[in-house]
Structure 1
Amino acid sequence: MAVAAQGPMFDPGRPGLRVLLLVALIAVVAGGVYAWRSQPEPEPLAPPTPAGSSLSAPSAGSSPRPATVGGGTVGGAGAGVGGGTAGEVTVHVTGKVRRSGVISLPAGSRVADALRAAGGTREGATAGSLNLARRLVDGEQITVGASGPAGAAAPVPADPAAAVLDLNTATPQQLEQLPGVGEVLAHRITEYRDGHGGFRNVEQLREISGIGDRKYRDMKDKVRV
């Protein structure tokens, strides 16, 4: 009876009831958001370390092995003597140089490079008639300070018809002794030789302007490589 008597005091009325419902709704939403944000987040596992990843890679600044000059070395020339590859030429430098011997240099190198690799000329000596700008031919010998053109073959015999010339070492004067070869054609042969790093076979003569089938037949038995 006491509660029934005091009932009107606790009745919030319609506006108060709406406020209470709104507060309760806000409390429920806030509690749900808090509970959702409080959930633990899974952390991704670190990727496994690849096998062999601890091996150190070769240094980017490593340099190729130097070439061998006699008993010494020449930097940046590739493999040593006897280890020639398609990307290098091996020549023998002798005569009035500081370090004569067999030298391996990159393909396309010039006589000046071989002379420099051999330490240059001796004191008081000169390169003489050497063509320092000529491309090197694999297997040739460069004689510094010798009289006559470097890399020349043996002197032409008294009978030029009996000579068998090496296309990679013959001088223009020797080439002029071949059938049908004059000064102009001899110059073309040496130009082709220097521009292609030497002749690999006699058939390459066909690629030179001025040497047709007939002239090639006359020449092929008198030359070699």
Structure 2
Amino acid sequence: MLWEWWERYRRLLVGIGALFFLGSSVWLYHSSQGSAQEEWPLTPISGIEKEALDTAIRAEEPKQETLEAEPPPPILVDVKGKVKKPGLYSFQAGMRVADAIRQAGGTLPDADLEQINLAQPLLDGAAVVIPSKSDTEPQTLNQAVPGQLIPSSSDPADQGSGGTININTATAAELMSLPGIGEAKAQAILQYRTEKQGFRSPEDIKLISGIGDKMYERLKDRIRIR
């Protein structure tokens, strides 16, 4: 009897079983997809989280040290002579005699600016002396005396043959015997050669303020460096 029932309803039962199997498979597939999405939800990154992430990435990047050039130290210059406020002033490197005069309040009415070089660069430890119109031997910018002096000699033999004077060893009195060299210029020569450890050539005397090409023409046959 059971066999007859099976023979009669076999196709129906097989169809029902196939539908059940297919339905179960579809249900299991969708269930697995839903659970996966619940486990790994995709949420957008907030602004704070993005900033923290960027900071972490930058921290991992190699750091580059930036080397900033330090500004040069200021220089000290003694400004005196025919200025309104003589004294010791601080300047930035590269400033000029004109800046020193301006810092000292400007010149007095009897100052003679025709005798000085306003564009001359300032040097640390130097003295800027503004001459008066009655001063025939102006001294604009003198080198500071650092301490150790180059020995000078008053030995007449040091003047050499022909009456030439060694400007690297001559005294102030010997320098003042040269044409156009007064006390101010003689002192400037002494201070310059001390700062620079001597003149390298006779023509270097033109580096002294107030000694130009015309005066050098008068001096060149009277001076030497050895």
Q: TM-score range by the shorter chain?
A: 0.3 to 0.5
What is the TM-score of this pair, normalised by structure 1?
0.44
Larger Rg: 1 or 2?
2
Relative to its length, the structure with more helix (as a share) is: 2
What is the TM-score of this pair, normalised by structure 2?
0.44
